[in-house]
Chains A and B, each alone.
Chain A
Amino acid sequence: MRHVISLLIENESGALSRVSGLFSARGYNIESLTVAPTEDASMSRMTIVTSGSDDIIEQITKQLNKLVEVVKVVDISEAAHIERELMLIKVRATGKDREEVKRTADIFRARIIDVTDASYVVELTGNQAKLDAFVDALDPALILETVRSGVCGIGRGDRVLKL
């Protein structure tokens, strides 16, 4: 089962390697990991997408909690939550493809943020499925480069992950 784990961690050098080291040492899998400081610069917020049986997910959250620099851990996928990922994709845009790519981008509410006479850079945010669908909708031959941020997640409604 896929799980989205959010955590607050002290913004110390080396903190990230403690988390990634834990996953590799114990053989847990990481689909994606994103991290950046929060409004309180002394803390970072991390979103980890992982998968495993219930037992493994339980161990993952316990082991994360055990890291001295980890302040709080929540499996946000246990309840209603929102996930977003950012993608920047550079596509070849010449001739009739120029119009076609533009149309597809519009359908997905993506934005073209860089234009040359031969290419576009398209920016798209959404959940993973939407980003995948956009990539699928493009002619693979047109794709020059893609970069995705990995998933950021947040609980819906009253649920707040805060100190």
Chain B
Amino acid sequence: MVLTGAEIVIRCLQEEKVEYVFGYPGGAVLYLYDALFQQEDVRHVLVRHEQAAVHAADGFARSTDKVGVAMVTSGPGATNAVTGIATAYCDSIPLVIISGQVPTAAIGQDAFQEVDTVGITRPCVKHNFLVRDVRDIAATIKKAFYLARTGRPGPVLVDIPKDITIAKCEFEYPKEISLRSYNPVVRGHQGQIKKAVQLLLEAKRPMIYTGGGVVLSDAAEQLTKLTRLLGYPVTNTLMGLGGYPASDRQYLGMPGMHGTYEANMSMHYCDVLLAVGARFDDRVIGNPAHFAEEPRKIIHVDIDPSSISKRVKVDVPIVGDVKDVLDEMIRQLESGAARPNGEHLSAWWKQIEEWRSRDCMAYKNSDEIIKPQFVVQKLWEVTGGNAIVTSDVGQHQMWAAQYYRFDQPRRWLNSGGLGTMGVGMPYAMGAQLAHPDAQVACITGEASIQMNIQELSTCKQFRLPIKICNLNNRYLGMVRQWQQIFHGGRYSESYMDSLPDFAKLAEAYGHVGIRVDRPADVEDAIREAFVKHKNELVFLDFQVDQTENVYPMVQGGKGLTEMILSAEDL
């Protein structure tokens, strides 16, 4: 069948079973939008800013195991999309971004709305393509989806000049694709896995540390099984929350800068560390030299060899897919007779329980002023721990991670690697479209939410009943916290002045807005949002304690054991 390039692009998306394209039209993509218009399988979500298009596609991908798709025009459309692309790249999220480009003959002529999109995005994509011939479109899009979802996932951009979308050729979607230069290892090395299992069984003070790789690999079940089989303590990074049920006793909470005392102490003092799909980020291990001071053997499972031995030296590297490797570990354990040494293990647990008894997540609640932690706890209670929770970046993000206990993967969507303010609402949009019946909450701050506030309009158009929980402290709270602790309390530009009345603003967009001032009203307001206004977007504007800080805290450059546990430690 002979089709235009534009028709081919849309046919490819249909072949990939794409349900939603998040995008924004413009000159270079007019033919693509015309082709979209003339079919019904692929639905388009018109956002109000291209950054939000990519974030929403990203949120859709994070909350499912699918590839998110965004479409933008050339020039400013593409540059607006860059923050979204980089955000997905830093957290290894599979996306395909289709960008329009000026006609082939105009490339390099400083044409209207021309930018070197492939050049600009090169350092923040897994791969990108400029299509130069209509006959290459189908194979290129096939490759893009394949690259995005396999190996270490990531965003892939396909830049298509306008003339290519008008040119015609015979359409056939390739069934299989293979690239001689790209063959990610999936199956872990048997011998290495055997060594790892041996080491785990000999451990006196074992610790399991897992991250986003468990979620990306959809291996929460395997992780839970292995952890229970061994009876070892486990911690999930900010990106790995929900990989292991947070309400289980073996779970020690999150590690790192704002992790729990027990998780950090166990990471530091264990003698065998099993790292699974986690990359020893500086926000997790603190100062690498300090971390290296304590002798321990490290087993590291990761699909990307470059994640291994990058920041810490690893004793047993295992390159492979988490699910595959954990399955094999479980198989070897179950088929062998050896079991962990109960005596050592109970001594280790005794130590851990002692650390846990410090109760580092305790905070002083108040009857007068709303504590942000309290709001998150109430949200957890009212939603039965079953909501999909997105967040923006700042203190509220940390409180969300600390106080909403995730028992399942793909329920917690946030920007960990790039730390992009403004992701919260678009992530919620993507998640709500992917799960129309789910409760979706966006925990945000008054500063972050303003970075993509225009999406309230998109939410109205697509009737997305997300619940926005604004922990309004009238500050760039995370910045203020650092200025308080490290810059002598000089609050340079961290005060959020001239804030809008968010409840009224939400109403202006046609939503429900509720302002909450008193702790006693918190629970009722959340209930009202989730029950009475179940099918509406509700903007809950909680006026919270302006000076609350996030604890525990490991300062940048310090070791994991050098924690500030509460304001008294300052």
Within 305-359 of B, Cβ neighbours of A (below 8 Å) are at 305-306, 309-310
- When distances are taken between beta carbons in the complex, the residues of chain B under 8 Å from A58 are 309
> Known: A63-B306, A65-B305, A66-B306. Contact between A21 and B181, CB under 8 A?
no
Q: Does A97 contact B (CB under 8 A)?
A: no
Is the CB–CB distance between A62 and B306 below 8 Å?
A: yes
User: Ordered nearest first, which 4 A-B pairs have the shortest CB separation?
Assistant: A62-B306, A71-B181, A68-B127, A62-B305
B123 closest partner in A (C-beta): A25
Comparing A10-18, A78-86, A132-140, A148-156, the segment that makes contact with chain B is A10-18
B307 closest partner in A (C-beta): A62
Give complex CA distance A21, B119 in Å: 10
Q: How far is the CB of B293 from chain A (nearest CB, A)?
A: 18
Q: Does A141 contact B (CB under 8 A)?
A: no
- When distances are taken between beta carbons in the complex, the residues of chain B under 8 Å from A75 are none
Interface flags, B145-171, vs A, CB<8A=1, else 0: 001000000000000000000000000
Give complex CA distance A58, B130 in Å: 31
Q: How far is the CB of B309 from chain A (nearest CB, A)?
A: 7
Is the CB–CB distance between B126 and A68 below 8 Å?
A: yes
B313 closest partner in A (C-beta): A55
Contacts A21-B122, A66-B304, A69-B127 aside, 14 further interface pairs with beta carbons under 8 A come to: A10-B181, A13-B130, A14-B122, A17-B119, A17-B122, A21-B123, A58-B309, A59-B306, A63-B306, A65-B306, A66-B305, A66-B306, A69-B181, A163-B180
Which residues of A come within 8 Å of B, CB atoms?
9-10, 13-14, 17-18, 21, 25, 55, 58-59, 62-63, 65-66, 68-71, 163
> Known: A62-B305, A65-B305. Contact between A71 and B122, CB under 8 A?
no
Q: How far is the CB of A128 from chain B (nearest CB, A)?
A: 29
Is the CB–CB distance between B122 and A59 below 8 Å?
A: no
Q: Does B105 contact A (CB under 8 A)?
A: no
Which residues of B come within 8 Å of A, CB atoms?
118-119, 122-123, 126-127, 130, 147, 179-182, 304-306, 309-310
Is the CB–CB distance between A70 and B181 below 8 Å?
A: yes
* B contact face: mostly helix, strand, loop, or mixed: mixed
Some 22 contacts from A to B, beta carbons below 8 A apart, are A13-B130, A14-B118, A14-B122, A14-B130, A17-B122, A21-B122, A25-B123, A58-B309, A59-B310, A62-B305, A62-B306, A63-B306, A65-B306, A66-B304, A66-B305, A68-B126, A68-B127, A68-B179, A68-B181, A68-B182, A71-B180, A71-B181
B305 closest partner in A (C-beta): A62
Give complex CA distance A14, B116 in Å: 12
- When distances are taken between beta carbons in the complex, the residues of chain B under 8 Å from A62 are 305-306
Give complex CA distance A163, B122 in Å: 26
Give complex CA distance A63, B420 in Å: 25
Give complex CA distance A125, B305 in Å: 38
- When distances are taken between beta carbons in the complex, the residues of chain A under 8 Å from B304 are 66
Q: How far is the CB of A51 from chain B (nearest CB, A)?
A: 19
Q: How far is the CB of A1 from chain B (nearest CB, A)?
A: 17
- When distances are taken between beta carbons in the complex, the residues of chain A under 8 Å from B305 are 62, 65-66
Point out which of A14, A59, A66, A71 has the most chain B C-beta atoms below 10 A from its C-beta.
Answer: A66
B127 closest partner in A (C-beta): A68
B152 closest partner in A (C-beta): A66
